[in-house]
Structure formats: C-alpha cells, structure tokens
Amino acid sequence: MAAKRKYKCLKAKRKYKYTKRIKKTVFRKKPLCKRRLSMWCLLNRRKQNLQAAIDQQALQAAIQEVKSEMKAELDKWCEMQRSLSQPGIQGISGPQGIQGIPGARGERGIDGSEGPPGIQGLPGLQGIQGEIGPQGIQGEIGPQGIQGEIGAQGPPGPVVIPEVTISPTTNRYFYQPETDLDLTMSVTIPASFFTNDLGAPVADFSALDPNSFNNLYINGILQPGNSYDVNPTSLLFPAQSTIIYAGTPIVLEAVQLTANVTV
C-alpha cells in the first residue's frame, strides 16, 4: 500500500497586474514520521488479517457447500438403492406380443374314466321316404269260397306304446394354424387339415348329416353360428373384422343323434 503523503499548505503572496493581492495555496511534500509509519504498518497488518479471515470464512463456506452436495448425492444414491431393493408399483400392461411358433405336439395322455350318460336329446327329423319298388306279378284269381258265419267279437287287445331312445355321438376335430388368418377376407380351411380325438388326420367331417348339429370353439370360446359355415369337406369363415393368430386352437364339435324305437 502506497504511503500516504501529507502536504503542508503554504500561503504565498503574488502580485498581479492590478493592485489587488490574491492568496494562493502552495503544497509542499513532507516526509513521514516514525510514529505515522508504525501506525500505517499496523493498519496494513489489520487489513491483511481481515482479508485472511474473510478468505478463511469463504473457504469454510465452500467446504460446507461441498459437504451439503455430497450428502445430497449420498441420500439420492441410498434412495435409489432402496427403490431397487423393494418391488415398485406394477406398471400398465403393454400390448400383447406376437405369438411364438407352436411347439411339437406332445404325447397323448391316458384316457380318463367314462363320465355319466348325458340327458336324452330331442328326437331327430324324419328321414326322406325311399323310392317305391316295382310292382309284383299279379297271381291268378282262385275260385271264390263259401262265406262262413260271422263269429263273435273278441276282447280288445293290449295297447302297445313304443319306446324311443335318442343316442348322441360326439366327434371333435382339432386344428392350429401355423400362420395368422386374416379374416378381413373370406378364408376356407380344408377338412384334411384337422385331426380327430386320437390325433390322426381326417379326410372329411363325416359326422355332419341332417340328424346332427355342430359347434365351433376358437381359443376355447364358443362362436356364433353366423361367423362360420361348415360342410363335409371344409370350414369357411366369411369376411369379418378380426384376425386368428398362429397357434390359436380351433375345435369343431359335431354331435350326431340316433333314434332307437323299441316296441
């Protein structure tokens, strides 16, 4: 720090053009005394000590700030560890993925015990009448015999009520498509693609006749009758806004009814 310089004011007199006298201040340098120099050194040391104290406080404040940031980072890391160690709330389920390639068909299990007989179904429709056979050769007319006497009327015979028994026969056909079936256009599946209850391929749906009815299940869900059409050689899906994904089980169930009349 530059030493302060004191100037002594000296008053000098000057004469100007006019008779008026004007006082002017003249400064003269004066050297510092020993007392003032020691005081200046003391003030300089106090200033240095004050600056050092300010720097020390700033350093302590910076250290405290770094400690606070380290503590916040440590708390954040601990919170992250706790969130990873504990199961979080289950999120919203994503869309269903594409179904994978179906595996090989497993071996057939042991057949279960036969269940109780079902409720007797309704009698089937009457069959179509057969063709009339050719007329036989007429025989010769024999001689007319003598009419006998009319005998007494006998007692009425017993009334016979026939017993009708309906026997249902169930046939099931299974199929799993290897690729997606886009039903926005009509799709026909041949009967030869299906297998029966024994896992053997079939040539046609032989159980379909006028005395039978059928049900279609897709992925275990019964389908309405207007969503498909079936004949002995194929299964037809008309155009509709849906897709049957690869590997989805398709089951056609045909129930054939047989009527047995016992007199």
Share of the chain above pLDDT 90, in %: 25
- Name the amino acid, one letter, at 105: R
Please, are residues 214 and 252 in contact by the beta-carbon 8 Å criterion? yes
Hey, which residues does 167 pair with through a beta bridge?
258
Percent of the chain having pLDDT more than 70?
Answer: 73
Q: Which of 118, 86, 100, 122 is nearest to 178 (CA)?
A: 100
Mean pLDDT is lowest, of 31-35, 112-116, 175-179, 199-203, for 31-35
Note the pTM of the prediction, 2 decimals. Answer: 0.39
Highest mean pLDDT among 4-13, 104-113, 240-249: 240-249
What pLDDT is stored for residue 231 in this prediction? 92
Higher pLDDT pick, 248 / 33: 248
| φ, ψ for residue 181, nearest 5 deg | -105, 110
When pLDDT is cut at 50, 70 and 90, the band that residue 188 belongs to is very high
What number of CA atoms fall less than 13 Å from residue 193's CA on the CB side? 14
> What residues does 234 pair with on adjacent strands?
190, 231
Mean pLDDT for the stretch of residues 107-121: 73
- Name which of 20-29, 37-46, 164-173, 195-204 the model is least confident about: 20-29
CB 180 within 8 A of CB 210: no
- Which of 237, 107, 252, 239 is closest to 176 using CA atoms? 252
| Mean pLDDT, the chain, integer | 78
Q: What is the token pair recorded at 135?
A: 């007329």
**DSSP category for residue 227:** G
Give the span between the Cα atoms of 14 and 24, in whole angstroms.
8
Whether residue 108 is predicted with pLDDT greater than 50 in this model: the reply is yes
Joined tokens for residue 57: 């406080």
Spatial distance between the Cα atoms of 13 and 8, rounded to a whole number of angstroms: 16
Pairing mode of beta strands 21-30, 212-218: unpaired
Give the end-to-end CA distance of the chain in Å, rounded to a whole number: 140
Whether 12 contacts 24, CB under 8 Å: yes
